[in-house]
């Protein structure tokens, strides 16, 4: 059996998230597994670096699979992309040693949340960004984003259905960047809870609208209660952009963020 790592780009609009679910529910994982299984002529199971909600996108979701099929790397890549739907593409594939695991070897994961600030809704970016048609105090939002850096109990910022037994996470950075009409939240942590990024962004949007002061975030953390926090931001503008692995695995380094948005790292 040979282990392979792959990098996947996808639009989550038509899918109920990354993870395979019950029959009849379309997921990114199951869609790719079906194609790889045809190419390998044997059942293929994918293991991803993380999970994404329904409607969430990815620019470089890392996953791995094992196969006894003898195929050239180009054959895997070209064969897969010729059969996958147009909203999913495998960007690269590499043979790996068996000690590589897309989920358990990931040291950190990184997301970007893109908000488009304009009184009028976009058409070409429909479902690719979250539209903020209302005024926002971006300076306050930038200040508020810093509150999420460091080690915290994120009980107030996870979904009530979250199954993780440990709500404490270390956020390496959480920064908000204004880029023309786009407002981009860039956040990296050792792990994320269900809806954690969307709940953080919902909080920042409420701060930007003046619904409560920046200092209120401290009280929300202290409450350790989801009801103490604000809205869950829509999935439309959320992108899984990167997972960090030990250098020994030598995975490709790709541009971060949506290709249509020239964001600095």
Give the catalytic positions in this structure: 53
Q: What is the DSSP string of 209-258?
A: TTSS-TTHHHHHHHHT-GGGS-PPPPSTTEEEEEEE--GGG-------S-
- Gap between the Cα atoms of 137 and 140, Å rounded: 6
Write phi, then psi, for 157 (nearest 5 degrees). -120, 25
Query: What whole-number distance in Å separates Cα of residue 14 and Cα of residue 169?
Result: 30
Which is it for the CA torsion 259, 59, 107, 165, positive or negative? positive
| Residue 250: partners with Cβ closer than 8 Å, 6 or more residues away | none
């Amino acid at each position: 059996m040979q282990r392979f790592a792959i990098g996947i780009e996808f639009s989550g609009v038509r899918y109920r998230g990354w993870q395979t679910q019950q029959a009849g529910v379309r997921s990114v994982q199951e869609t790719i597994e079906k194609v790889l299984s045809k190419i390998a002529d044997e059942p293929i199971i994918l293991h991803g670096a993380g999970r994404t909600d329904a409607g969430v996108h990815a620019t470089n979701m890392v996953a791995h699979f094992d196969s006894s099929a003898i195929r050239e790397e180009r054959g895997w890549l070209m064969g897969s992309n010729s059969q996958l739907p147009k909203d999913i593409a495998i960007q690269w594939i590499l043979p790996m040693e068996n000690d590589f695991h897309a989920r358990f070897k990931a040291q950190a994961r990184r997301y970007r949340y893109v908000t488009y600030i304009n009184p009028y809704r976009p058409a070409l970016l429909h479902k690719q960004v979250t539209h903020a048609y209302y005024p926002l105090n971006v300076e306050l939002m930038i200040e508020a984003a810093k509150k999420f850096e460091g080690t915290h109990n994120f009980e107030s910022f996870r979904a009530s259905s979250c199954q993780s037994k440990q709500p404490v996470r270390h956020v390496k950075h959480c920064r908000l960047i204004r880029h023309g009409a786009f407002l981009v939240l860039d956040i990296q942590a050792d792990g994320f809870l269900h809806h954690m990024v969307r709940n953080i962004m919902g909080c920042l949007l409420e701060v930007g609208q003046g619904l409560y002061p920046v200092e209120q975030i401290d009280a929300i953390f202290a409450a350790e209660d989801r009801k103490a926090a604000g809205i869950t931001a829509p999935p439309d503008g959320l992108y899984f952009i990167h997972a960090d692995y030990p250098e020994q695995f030598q995975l490709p380094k790709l541009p971060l963020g949506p290709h249509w948005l020239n964001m600095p790292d």
